[in-house]
Amino acid sequence: MKIHPSAIVHPKATLDTDVEVGPFCVVGEHVVIGKGSRLHSHVNVEGWTEIGERNEVHPFASIGGPPQHLAYKGEPTKVMIGHDNIIREYVTINRGTVQGGGVTSLGSKGILMAYVHVAHDCRLGNHIIMANAASLAGHITIGDHSVIGGLTGVLQFVRIGDYVMVGGCCAIGQDIPPFAFAAGGYRAHLYGLNTVGLQRHGFSVDRIALLRKAFDLLFRTGHRTAEAIKLAKKEFKGQEDVAKILAFMEGTKRGISRAVSSDLEREFDQPV
């Protein structure tokens, strides 16, 4: 374990033997940090925060601060972080609230770029990428392998599915279903599939074509959502990827973002 002399590490904090703590870091009493993790200079980790193995936290990040929520009364809520994440400069990750389940979590192998904010009770999956200054309000869920563009803001309680791409400078106020590409300024819309992302993750031509066909039925035929789901269940029975989209849509509380039907979508969703 390497702790710089200028760092302040509480004697009751639990750090694995090969953790590195850089200059002017502050590590609180209830913090747990797993093996191979490194805190660069000026990192603050406080509260009931658990950081897994081989995470790298860059200068001026603040992890485990109290939730920015008027109902919070000092309860011992948590931040839980998996393994192999990169957390860049000035990232803030707040603890959960009792009302929201008490935990803010980040999976493994994610990248949170500079100035990202993750608010109370967010649940982020594995292989997440959030670009510079993207901000999440409370209670947001993001699935595995999803990308959030820089300067994008996401409203509380919104869900973003697996393999989603959200463009930069967006405002997300409704759920984004799995495999979709969303973009737009004041209010983001669906522009089709995240085709490039799916290709990069090894989705076959046939698999993407099937998803495109399902997407067109669900979002571009003019059917009401409930009717479109019913039709898709019948037409795509037994198709696991489509079933994931349908289950996601049926679980929405915020509503599903609308799809753009103009020719502009073809710039973002090219057939493979």
* Cα–Cα distance, 8 to 11 (Å, whole number): 9
CATH number of the structural domain 2-198:
2.160.10.10
Per-residue pLDDT, averaged over 237-255, amounts to 98
What is the residue-wise DSSP string for 60-80?
A: T-EEEEPPS-TT--S---EEE
Inform me whether the pLDDT recorded for 115 exceeds 70: yes
Share of the chain above pLDDT 70, in %: 96
Whether the Cβ atoms of residue 137 and residue 152 lie closer than 8 Å to each other: no
pLDDT by residue (tens digit) across 219-236?
A: 999 899 999 999 999 999
Contact 185, 202 (CB under 8 A): no
- Tell me the catalytic residues: 120-121, 138
Q: Which two tokens stand for residue 245?
A: 């989209």
Binned at pLDDT 50, 70 and 90, residue 263 comes out as very low
Contact, 133 vs 150, CB < 8 A? yes
pLDDT (0 to 100) of residue 173: 97
CATH architecture of 204-267: Up-down Bundle (1.20)
Q: Delimit the domains of the chain by residue range.
A: 2-198, 204-267
For the stretch 225-234, what's the b/e string if a residue is b when 16 or more beta carbons lie within 10 angstroms of its beta carbon? eeebbeebee
Q: pLDDT tens across 54-95, in order?
A: 999 999 999 999 999 999 999 999 999 999 999 999 999 999
Q: What percent of the chain has pLDDT over 90?
A: 92
> How does pLDDT run across 166-187, given as a tens digit for each residue?
999 999 999 999 999 999 988 8
The two domains 2-198 and 204-267 share their CATH topology (first three levels equal): no
Instruction: With beta carbons less than 8 A apart as the criterion, state whether 132 and 153 touch.
Output: no
- Does the pLDDT value for residue 46 go beyond 80? yes
**Is this prediction's pTM over 0.85?**
yes
Is the predicted pLDDT of residue 265 greater than 60, yes or no?
A: no
State the pLDDT at residue 131: 99
Q: What is the mean pLDDT of the chain?
A: 96
